[in-house]
Structure 1
Amino acid sequence: MTATYFTGLLLGFGLIIPIGAQNVFIFSQGLTAGMPRALWAVVAAGVCDTILIVLGAVGAGVLISSVPGLREILLVGGAGLLIYLGVSSLRAKVKDEEEAADPDVVSVRGVLFKTASVSLFNPHAILDTVVIIGATIAAQQMADRMAFTFGAVTASWVWFLVLAVGAAMLRQFLTPRRRLWFDRVSGLIMLFFAGLLLFELGKSLA
């Protein structure tokens, strides 16, 4: 059981560590809001990933793969969301960054909503995490599936916490203007991922 848990843990890290819109958003929260405010993003992302992994464990991946047109809908929705978040980051100003650093100004509801959006409306998270982890869980012995699932879930929570804490530690070395430039770089990264999703959409429709 222990070996199965660590196998799930390694697979979870392998899927979650590569840079993506979700990771960029959580890192930016740690950088702009600091701790413990960034924990709201960690909790939201962790809960969303847990939901997706559990859905994969109960076989939702097979259902998702079999629904015609669902992949294209997810690609359009994900691209639209990333374009919105990317443009918002590019339009940020120094004053906005200074206000974001104030715990009284940070909107917990806004952080939870944006984190959930980046997590649940991310086509790669749904198609890759649900389908890949779901298929891997299904390949395990029945007695080992719970441990494997728990290992994959643990990887998500640990990684999101590491991102937020690491960003919060860097925060003290960055001025509001430098954090502004990071925000703009984050915006460009999100627009880049939006472009990739639209490219995939174009290939699917060709």
Structure 2
Amino acid sequence: MTAFASGFLTYLALVVAIGAQTLFLLRQSVRGDRAWTAIGICFLGDVVLLSAGTAGIGVVAERWPWLVTALTVAGVVYLVWFALAALRSSVRGHRTLEEAAAEVRDDAWAPSAEEVAVMTGRLPVLPAAGRAPGGAVAVPAGTSAEVSGAGGATPVAVRTRPAPATMRPSAAPRTPLRRLVLLSLSVSLLNPHAILDTVVMMGTFAQSFGTLKWAYAGGAVAAGALWFGLLGWGGAKLAPVMNTPRTWRVVDAVVAVLMLAIAAKVGLTLL
């Protein structure tokens, strides 16, 4: 496997997980709320982190080679743990967007219950912007809905006021640009989990390819661009598919096998 392909597959397996960044970008995409601005910031954040990791760990490798070996061993252990967690999730088959959103409901960037219901297709988005004044999801009068979660069906508080006929998509409430930038940075450049994945793990694994380490980083960047592009162009269609346990059983099984293979490949470089 080439350095580019290794970087692409490794990072793609990491980035497709339902995490802060994916939930946030899906929310912006489905709402039509400066989605490409958020995607651009998150993508650039990933590029910065991947570049910093590849270059920074390279400096560490020149001065303290033993530290890179230790980080590589830790990275292999992390990949094995990641693979086993994905395998367990695949067997249980209960993973959904709704559960992931419920776990982070208190975070500033997290989608509300109503927004998750729209994202997953449980509530309709009306042609006239799909949102009533004040940011509530607009549904026809008399409509009732439930959101299924880990504890069963939960009623969603929804305003039943129909959206004005004169409202257009462009009139939907938008996140202020400054707040959007801060939220985007919080799930990318300032996200401790993202820093661990990109700077520490990806940066360390890149060193195993020697002079081709930047090809490895380039593959990771390409994987990020592919995933973010899918969220931007097809987020509204992708979200309902991502909300089914069957989908994640397949995804988690593939990720588990891929991660174990990558862990074995990197582990062999230590022998």
- CA 60–108 in structure 1, closer or farther in 2 if over 3 Å, else same: farther
What letter matches 1:136 in structure 2?
F
What letter matches 2:106 in structure 1?
I
- Residue matched to 2:99: none
Corresponding position: 1:160 with 2:228: yes
- Residue matched to 1:145: 213
Q: Retained in 2: the 8 A contact 1:9–1:151?
A: yes
Deviation at residue 82 of structure 1 after TM alignment: 7.5
- Residue matched to 2:251: none
What letter matches 1:31 in structure 2?
V
- CA 138–165 in structure 1, closer or farther in 2 if over 3 Å, else same: same
- CA 44–29 in structure 1, closer or farther in 2 if over 3 Å, else same: same
- Residue matched to 2:143: none
- CA 100–7 in structure 1, closer or farther in 2 if over 3 Å, else same: farther
RMSD: 3.6
What letter matches 1:134 in structure 2?
G
The residue matched to 1:58 in structure 2 has which SS? helix
- CA 100–170 in structure 1, closer or farther in 2 if over 3 Å, else same: farther
What letter matches 2:24 in structure 1?
F
Q: TM-score by structure 2 length?
A: 0.48
Deviation at residue 60 of structure 1 after TM alignment: 5.1
Matched residues, number:
153
Rounded to whole Å, the distance in 2 between the matches of 1:87 and 1:169 is 19
What letter matches 1:145 in structure 2?
K
- Residue matched to 1:188: none
Higher share in helix: 1
Gapped runs of 5+ residues in structure 2?
61-66, 72-103, 116-130, 139-166, 241-271
- Residue matched to 1:57: 54
Q: Retained in 2: the 8 A contact 1:26–1:38?
A: yes
- CA 11–24 in structure 1, closer or farther in 2 if over 3 Å, else same: same
What letter matches 1:56 in structure 2?
G
The residue matched to 2:170 in structure 1 has which SS? coil
**Pairing partner for 2:112 from 89, 101, 126:** 89
Corresponding position: 1:134 with 2:133: no
- Residue matched to 1:118: 187
Q: Retained in 2: the 8 A contact 1:55–1:130?
A: yes
Q: Retained in 2: the 8 A contact 1:52–1:126?
A: yes
- Residue matched to 1:45: 42
Q: Retained in 1: the 8 A contact 2:206–2:213?
A: yes
Percent of pairs with identical residues: 31
Q: TM-score by structure 1 length?
A: 0.61
- CA offsets per residue over residues 12-71 of structure 1, 9 Å max, x none? 10111111011000011100016xx311111011000001101110125969x99xxxxx
Say which structure, 1 or 2, has more relative contact order (CA 8 Å, 6+ apart): 1
Q: Retained in 1: the 8 A contact 2:105–2:111?
A: no
- CA 155–170 in structure 1, closer or farther in 2 if over 3 Å, else same: closer
Deviation at residue 91 of structure 1 after TM alignment: 9.1
- Residue matched to 2:269: none
Larger Rg: 2
Q: Retained in 1: the 8 A contact 2:45–2:188?
A: yes
The residue matched to 2:107 in structure 1 has which SS? helix
